[in-house]
Amino acid sequence: MNASDSLLVEKTKEGVVLLRINRPQVRNALNLEVRTRLADEIVKCGGDGSVRCVVMTGSDVAFAAGADIGEMAEAGPVDVMARNVQKYWRALMECPKPLIAAVEGYALGGGLELALCADIIVAGESARLGLPEVKVGILPGGGGTQKLARLVGRHRAMLLIMTGRMFGAAEALTMGVVSEVAPAGQALTRALEIAHEIAAMPAISIMQIKEIINAGLNASLDTALMLERKAFQLQFATRDQKEGMRAFMEKRKPKFEGQ
């Protein structure tokens, strides 16, 4: 691990991978290099059977303070289209492994859009979040308008995005933008605790839970319930289901193998 890298990667023996954005000089602003590295590492994690959960974070000052404005200030529409930054976020959202964001400090613009790619968001209580793109003459273009509206409702999303105002971790929790609030400076510690808790669960069940929740949200209730039913039935073909239920009946801790 090179401290000068824009993305630092650590892996624990328990199957948790930590990805840390490392551009402190610009409050972890997201340039194409960071976006590419994040996508590449998460695709790699998705295909690695030894990885059970991924955590991404920044620093205590900023998770990511936004997109790197220097890369886009003079760009034309064709330039922006050619960059196609959405493909990097799509790689994150399509990762079959659970993805947790640990947010301290600023998560603004593209930084908040990055966090919203995660399945679970843990925010430090002093974190500041928002989509301030309107203040520089644009609008959120990495999923922010659609994801925030689905989380907090149309009217509140309109207010937040049209004013570009920041909001704190407590408000984010109340609105459903984040999963949990930790004491300031403890978001990563808490995120890693959750990651290791998930990593100890049966891997096939965890992947199926992620898949059916995400697919079901974009389907009718009848279709979503059918997806759930089929996934539930398929669990009974796994060795971990047999181990889990036997352990329960034998009053012992199960030993899941991810099979």
Residue 95 near residue 89 (C-beta atoms within 8 A): no
Residues with catalytic function: 67, 110, 113, 133
Residue 60 near residue 102 (C-beta atoms within 8 A): no
Structure-token pair, residue 198: 């998930």
Residue 62 near residue 130 (C-beta atoms within 8 A): no
Picking from 253, 224, 215, the residue whose alpha carbon sits closest to that of residue 207 is 215
Q: How many CB atoms lie within 10 A of CB 154?
A: 10
Instruction: Give bridge partners of residue 122 from the DSSP assignment.
Output: 102, 180
User: Which residue type occupies 137?
Assistant: G
Residue 29 near residue 23 (C-beta atoms within 8 A): yes
Structure-token pair, residue 229: 């039913």
Structure-token pair, residue 25: 């000089």
Q: For residue 57, what is the enclosing H or E element? A: strand 53-57
Q: How many CB atoms lie within 10 A of CB 171?
A: 14
Matching residue, tokens 């978001």: 187
Picking from 50, 204, 60, 68, the residue whose alpha carbon sits closest to that of residue 124 is 60
User: Which residue type occupies 57?
Assistant: T
The DSSP call for residue 200 is T
